[in-house]
C-alpha cells in the first residue's frame, strides 16, 4: 500500500531529476515511476533488499566496501535504463568525500625547543676554570719549595735513580706497544654495520582508481586518483593496501614490478610479507 501511494505521488509531481536530488533519491524516483517494487529489483539483480534500500536512502555505512557498493549502484542504474556511468560519477561525488572526511586523521608532531646557555653562565664557568688553574699552580709551587734537600747517601742516589728511570722507560714503551697492538686489532675486527633499508612501494596509475594505504594509527593515502598519478611510501609493519580498479594500478617494490593485488584480493592487503622481498 505504501509503494502504491508513493507511485501515485510520483505521477502527480514529475519534476525530479538527477541533478537536483541525491543519487539514491533519483534512483528511487525512477523505480517508482516505472512502478517497480524493491522486491522486484532485488530479485532481478540478485541484490539483497537491505542494500537496495541503503542505496535509495544514501546510507553508505550499510553498503559493502567501495568497489562492491559502486557495482551495486551501477547495476541498479542499468536495470532502470539510466546512464550507469553518469549515475556512478554522481554517486562518487556525493558519497566518497564524506567517507574520506571520517577516515582522515591529523597527525600532530610536537617539537621541543632547544635552550641556549646565557653569556653570563659561560663567563662564570671560564672564571672558575682560571681560578682552579691558578690555585693548582700555587699549591704545586709551595710543595716544590718545601721539599727537603738531603745530601746524605748521594752516591747511592746517583746509582739507583738512573736504574729506576730505565725501568720506567721500558714499562712506558711496552705499554705504548700494547696500546698500539690493541688499536690495530680493533681496527681490523670492527666493521661498520650495514644499514638495513626498508623496501619502497611505488604506485603508478594507468587509469582512474580508488586507493587507500593506512595502518592502525594513520592514513597515508586515500581517494580516487587519476591516470599519471604516482605515490611512493617506505614499507613498515602494519601497512594495508586497498584498491578499486586494481588493474589500473602498477605496483613496484624498489623499482621492480611486483603483483600485489589480484581479482580475489584487492581490499585490505597486508604488506608485511613484502618487507622481506
**pLDDT tens column, 89-141:** 988 888 655 555 444 443 434 444 455 667 888 989 899 999 999 998 989 88
Per-residue pLDDT at 85: 93
Answer positive or negative: Cα dihedral of 240, 245, 247, 252.
Answer: negative
**Crossing angle for the helix pair 66-79 and 23-33, nearest 10 degrees?**
30
Per-chain mean pLDDT for the chain:
78
**What's the whole-model pTM score?**
0.34
The 10 Å Cβ neighbour count of residue 22 is: 16
240-243 vs 269-270, strand pairing mode: antiparallel
CATH number of 2-100: 1.10.260.40
Query: What digits encode the pLDDT tens for the residues 37-61?
Result: 999 999 999 999 999 998 999 888 8
**Crossing angle for the helix pair 66-79 and 49-56, nearest 10 degrees?**
90
Specify the domain boundaries for CATH 1.10.260.40 within the chain: 2-100
256-257 vs 219-225, strand pairing mode: unpaired
CA distance 208 to 188: 56
CA distance 203 to 231: 5
Amino acid at each position: 500500500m505504501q509503494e502504491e501511494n508513493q507511485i501515485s505521488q510520483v505521477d502527480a509531481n514529475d519534476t525530479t531529476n538527477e541533478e537536483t536530488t541525491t543519487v539514491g533519491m533519483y534512483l528511487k524516483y525512477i523505480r517508482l515511476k516505472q512502478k517497480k517494487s524493491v522486491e522486484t529489483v532485488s530479485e532481478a539483480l540478485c541484490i539483497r533488499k537491505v542494500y537496495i534500500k541503503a542505496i535509495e536512502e544514501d546510507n553508505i555505512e550499510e553498503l559493502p566496501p567501495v568497489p562492491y557498493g559502486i557495482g551495486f549502484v551501477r547495476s541498479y542504474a542499468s536495470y532502470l535504463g539510466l546512464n550507469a556511468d553518469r549515475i556512478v560519477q554522481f554517486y562518487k561525488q556525493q558519497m566518497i568525500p564524506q567517507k574520506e572526511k571520517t577516515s582522515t586523521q591529523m597527525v600532530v608532531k610536537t617539537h621541543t625547543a632547544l635552550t641556549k646557555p646565557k653569556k653570563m653562565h659561560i663567563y662564570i664557568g671560564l672564571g672558575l676554570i682560571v681560578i682552579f688553574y691558578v690555585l693548582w699552580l700555587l699549591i704545586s709551587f709551595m710543595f716544590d719549595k718545601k721539599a727537603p734537600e738531603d745530601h746524605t747517601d748521594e752516591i747511592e742516589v746517583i746509582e739507583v735513580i738512573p736504574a729506576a728511570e730505565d725501568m720506567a722507560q721500558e714499562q712506558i714503551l711496552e705499554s705504548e706497544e700494547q696500546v698500539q697492538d690493541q688499536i690495530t686489532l680493533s681496527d681490523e675486527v670492527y666493521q661498520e654495520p650495514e644499514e638495513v633499508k626498508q623496501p619502497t612501494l611505488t604506485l603508478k596509475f594507468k587509469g582512474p582508481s580508488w586507493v587507500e594505504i593506512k595502518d592502525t594509527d594513520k592514513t597515508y593515502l586515500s581517494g580516487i586518483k587519476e591516470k599519471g598519478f604516482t605515490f611512493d611510501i617506505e614499507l613498515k609493519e602494519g601497512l594495508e593496501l586497498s584498491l578499486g580498479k586494481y588493474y589500473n594500478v602498477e605496483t613496484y617494490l624498489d623499482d621492480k614490478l611486483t603483483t600485489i593485488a589480484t581479482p580475489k584480493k584487492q581490499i585490505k592487503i597486508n604488506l608485511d610479507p613484502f618487507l622481506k622481498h
